[in-house]
Amino acid sequence: MTAPQADLSGWSVAPFTGGGYTHDVYRKGTGPGVVLIPEIPGIHLEVLGLGNHLVDNGFTVVIPSLFGVPGRAKTTGSIVTSLARACVAKEFAAFATNKQRPVSLFLRALARDLNASTPGKGVGVIGQCFTGGFALAAAVDDSVLAPVLSQPSVPLPLGRARRRDPGLSESELATVAGRAANEGLCALGLRFSEDSVVPAERFAVLKERLGDAFEVIEIDSSQGNEYGFGKSAHSVLTTEVREVDGQPAYEARKRVVEFLTQRLG
């Protein structure tokens, strides 16, 4: 059994400009809006599988193409190529600490635009891997009610300061913490326990700042774990999902859908 996959069938595409950047955005579905930010190497088949699952559960999903070639399978070569380009792009500031990343301005504009064209009280944003922390940065905007941080790996965790960095600037985090305290904003974070790319310290900092408003799902990937996850297990909502009741990544995906439904309904 493998992770759910899909192709670009049924997805419309159009360019969107916001925050000084323009990217193609793929759209599908009806219902409350969810911005699904792709992981490295881009809008690959498993990201589309997750997108279709969200559509099937009653959401309008938009996926911005920030890197890579949409609709291609994930390969070692595509991962290396996309990561190399993303790491040097000013838009993502992959190594900077305490940084407002330019891509967050684009994502906030996209969230506002999606909110204006969909029902519900606001929109959700799901970030994954390289883009995981961008979901929380998007929640500076009032249109975002349900940020989901799946294995947020930026800034790349080289050194203690980067391991503890939450992936957004202090001013952005203060705004999000204020929304959590005063408006009831909640965020969901997901990681594998042994994932060195997503250090536990990062989630600890977010928990300190957001308290009970930050719900953490940590899946056991230690040696000998019950479900056979390898030490390198990383992509909670895509690569590691097996559609079998009880499988932790599958249950985590269920919780994400429940979280979005509760927050956006």
Q: What is the pLDDT of residues 202-228, one digit of tens each?
A: 999 999 999 999 999 999 999 999 999
- Model pLDDT, residue 86: 86
**Please, is 165 exposed, middle or buried when counting C-beta atoms within 10 Å of its C-beta (0-12, 13-18, 19+)?**
buried
- Model pLDDT, residue 6: 98
- Model pLDDT, residue 94: 87
Contacts of 163 (CB under 8 A, 6+ apart): 157, 199, 201, 202
The angle that helices 200-210 and 170-183 make with each other, rounded to 10 degrees, is 50
Q: Where are the domains of the chain?
A: 12-264
Q: What is the pLDDT of residues 176-208, one digit of tens each?
A: 999 999 999 999 999 999 999 999 999 999 999
Per the listing, tokens 């699952």 go with 53
Taking residue 7's Cβ as centre, other Cβ atoms within 10 Å add up to 14
Does domain 12-264 sit in CATH 3.30.70.330? no
Q: What is the pLDDT of residues 45-69, one digit of tens each?
A: 999 999 999 999 999 999 999 999 9
**Please, is 83 exposed, middle or buried when counting C-beta atoms within 10 Å of its C-beta (0-12, 13-18, 19+)?**
middle
Q: Which two tokens stand for residue 244?
A: 């079998």
Per-residue pLDDT at 87 exceeds 90: no
Q: What is the pLDDT of residues 105-158, one digit of tens each?
A: 999 999 999 999 999 899 999 999 999 999 999 999 999 999 999 999 999 989
Residue 254: which pLDDT band, with cuts at 50, 70 and 90?
A: very high
pTM of the model: 0.97
Q: What is the pLDDT of residues 24-40, one digit of tens each?
A: 999 999 999 999 999 99
